[in-house]
Amino acid sequence: MRVGVPKEIKDHEYRVGLVPSSVAELVRHGHAVTVQRGAGLGAGLEDELYLAAGARIADSAEETFTAAELIVKVKEPLEPERRRLRRGQVLFTYLHLAPDPAQTRALLQSGVTAIAYETVTAPSGSLPLLTPMSEIAGRLAPQVGARYLEREEGGRGVLLGGVPGVPPAEVVVLGGGVSGTHAATIALGMGATVTVVDRSAEVLRRIAVQLPGVRTIFSTHDALVQVVRRADLLVGAVLVPGAAAPKLVTRDMVKTMKNGSVIVDVAIDQGGCCETSRPTTHSHPTFVEEGVIHYCVTNMPGAVARTSTFALNNATLPFVLALADKGWRHAVADDPHLRNGLNVHDGRLTCRPVAEAQGLAFTAPDQLAA
């Protein structure tokens, strides 16, 4: 199969779909890989490394897309990239379609077969291609929050870990999944007072055992009102697989927060879990609503591109090989977990949460894989 790896064009997105070792593995399986010139530079991966792995270097995105039957990316295709997609082509990347009707329409109109990293599942029910980036985003959240709590960044002037005689910052993490657990781990390690809120008693038990210094609170509206008011740093880490994130934090709740406190909405890829959140970029990462600094960058892991790229490739490579070796139809027929990643095929929407979020017709992916 002909595999294409374009250079990412999202703002300050330095990750790349395949590392040279992944390219070499595809080449050993008999596939031809085209990598756009400079695609890996942001992650410290020079074109010479791709050439040594057996790839062909293309001078443009147009050439890369045209040459490929299977496109392997990191972030959702932006408008210039969507115009290059065609019927019969397979796109394998993060999509996050539920809060993005414009992208959904464009993919449906293109006729492309689009498989989303974030809805591929594992036998345990986990999301193996989302997990590594969720880990990184969670670990970045307290680091980012600590920075914006500094006075010169407009924050309250609070040191996350405090000092002897001065209390540390109050960090509230909404959601005890992968991102939330990693955010709580790092915030606790930095010396903050940490509270995790979740609606699963089982998750709260796990957090209590795993992180004995963290307070756990069962999520109700009244509980949220209380903990949001106290927070110096609020980390939104709520995930409903494939669906838009629930708006747990209302504008009225944000109004009760201290001036100069910070919200890091990790869930912004799926629309964000705060009513006041809206997507931002690494170039312009924050805005202020109701006196509260909001950091809502939709590609947080791109800030640590090298770590993120290798972590992502470790997870995606087996699925890339299956798609290239078998073709998408046989690959998803053989693997129900990869089949769960199928979001769009030939003008049909095949992800139920996306269809429900946007009020569109749904086609079961099982019908297409048969």
Q: Are 355 and 108 in contact (CB under 8 A)?
A: no
DSSP code, position 7: P
Give just the sign of the alpha carbon dihedral 94, 97, 99, 105: positive
Strand (E) positions, 219-306? 233-236, 262-265, 286-289, 292-295
DSSP code, position 77: P
- Give the pairing of strands 233-236 and 262-265: parallel
Report the C-alpha gap between 107 and 76 in whole angstroms.
10
Centre a 10 Å sphere on the Cβ of residue 125 and count the other Cβ atoms it contains: 8
Phi-psi group of 42: left, alpha or beta (phi > 0 → left; psi -120 to 50 → alpha; rest → beta): alpha
Q: Are 71 and 33 in contact (CB under 8 A)?
A: no
Q: Are 263 and 171 in contact (CB under 8 A)?
A: no
Alpha carbon 217 to its chain's center: 26
Catalytic positions = 96, 269
Report the C-alpha gap between 230 and 129 in whole angstroms.
34
Token pair listed for 243: 């669906």
Report the C-alpha gap between 156 and 290 in whole angstroms.
14
Report the C-alpha gap between 294 and 77 in whole angstroms.
25
Q: Are 302 and 10 in contact (CB under 8 A)?
A: yes
Report the C-alpha gap between 204 and 225 in whole angstroms.
19
Token pair listed for 183: 């955010």
